[in-house]
Amino acid sequence: MVAHEIIVFKIGTHTLLDREGNLREAVLEALFAASKDVKKKNTHILLVTSGAVGLGRTLMATSASLPRAIAGSVGQAYLMSRYVAAAQKCGIVIGQLLLSRPYVLKRAHFLRLQTLVGQMCDAGITPIINENDAMTAETDWSFGDNDSLAAILAVSFGARELILATHVDGLYTSDPLRDQSAQLITKIPDVNRELMKYCSASASEHGRGGMISKLTAARICTNVGVATRIVNGTDSGTILGAIAGASVGTYCQPRTRTRALSNRERWIVAAKSSAASIEVDDGAVKALRQGKSLLAVGIKKLYGEFAAGESVEVVDKQQEGVAFGIVDIGTEQMLGRPFQVQHGVQVIHADNCIVL
């Protein structure tokens, strides 16, 4: 684990780029000014950046038809050159990390990532992190979107807070562009399914996220005790305020846990397969919350595919998260067989299960 206090700050494509696809230099300068300030308090920012694909398409003067992998490879080089220039103005040294899912799925890679980031923080280097779009686009190595990547990092490093910077002020009761009566929701005590009705699943032209992806990230983080804040990153003052701890945007309150997660438990949550889940009945939910293992008899449905040894989310019949766990058997062993009636088959051992 990193010995420093960590803030994960994710900046979205439309926060970095204006309507013409040009980089907002003032946003980068505000980020590094805030980073320099919190370093004095031994707090370090892990900066997760989007924007490479959008910049690549701007530089190539093409529409969205340019393949994501190619646009990302072109845009990433230019994006980092602008980060370097902005960091130098504040006397900050940055280091780039391009990640893919195996870096957290495999326990050994996960520990190596933690060690590397810890060493970077020790050396006073600010990590700039992005998905390796050129190699992961349209593959199962992808995190899906940078909101998910940021959430995974926040969990992995036991961050004090995850800040998701977008181009709106936070979560509203309805679309503020279409409804003048829309009100900003300043505090969310419980990120649940009911909140999803307030936001759209649609992503931006070049980005892959949206408000739903941000709430999904917040749900994972707050469940394990990491506060999450959604803010307007196009405003330099808001960036500075959010990192300093001011009450801006939409604050998602972390749940209180009776004990902190162990590092192995953090890995189990971080390594969760983004494409798979297990739906269980009420009896299984009760058993899990009593500290028992998940048996096949309690499973109602399987979503996606997973193999033995992978981390999978367990949900109830309302699709609310119940737990994360390392499965003993995969879908290939289950499908095509009446596994629900195999009462003695253990799917997740209690020691490998994190109940939410």
pLDDT in tens, 163-210: 999 988 999 888 777 888 889 999 999 887 777 666 654 444 444 447
The stretch 274-291 carries a mean pLDDT of 91
Q: What pLDDT was estimated at residue 207?
A: 43
Q: Does a structural domain hold residue 138?
A: yes
Q: Does a structural domain hold residue 81?
A: yes
Query: Over the chain, what is the mean pLDDT?
Result: 87
Q: Which two tokens stand for residue 341?
A: 């009636």
Same domain membership, residue 245 and residue 199: yes
Q: Is the pLDDT of residue 273 over 90?
A: no
Q: Are strands 43-49 and 5-11 parallel, antiparallel or unpaired?
A: parallel
Same domain membership, residue 50 and residue 89: yes
23 and 16 in contact (C-beta within 8 Å)? yes
Same domain membership, residue 220 and residue 93: yes
Q: Does a structural domain hold residue 257?
A: no
Number of separate domains in the chain: 2
Q: What pLDDT was estimated at residue 336?
A: 58
Q: What pLDDT was estimated at residue 209?
A: 47
Q: Could you tell me the residue range of the domain that residue 333 belongs to?
A: 272-355
What CATH number has the domain bearing residue 286?
A: 2.30.130.10
Same domain membership, residue 291 and residue 246: no
Tally of CB atoms within 10 A around 106: 14
Q: pLDDT by residue (tens digit) across 123-146?
A: 999 999 998 887 877 777 788 889
Q: How confident is the model at residue 351 (pLDDT cuts 50, 70, 90)?
A: very high
In angstroms, the first-to-last Cα distance of the chain is 22
**Which range among 15-19, 136-140, 331-335 shows the weakest confidence by mean pLDDT?**
136-140
Q: What pLDDT was estimated at residue 174?
A: 80
Same domain membership, residue 297 and residue 246: no
Report the predicted TM-score, pTM, of the whole model to 2 decimal places.
Answer: 0.88
Share of the chain above pLDDT 90, in %: 54
Q: Does a structural domain hold residue 262?
A: no
Q: What pLDDT was estimated at residue 3?
A: 65
Q: Does a structural domain hold residue 233?
A: yes
Q: Does a structural domain hold residue 203?
A: yes
Share of the chain above pLDDT 70, in %: 91
Same domain membership, residue 217 and residue 162: yes
Q: How confident is the model at residue 255 (pLDDT cuts 50, 70, 90)?
A: confident
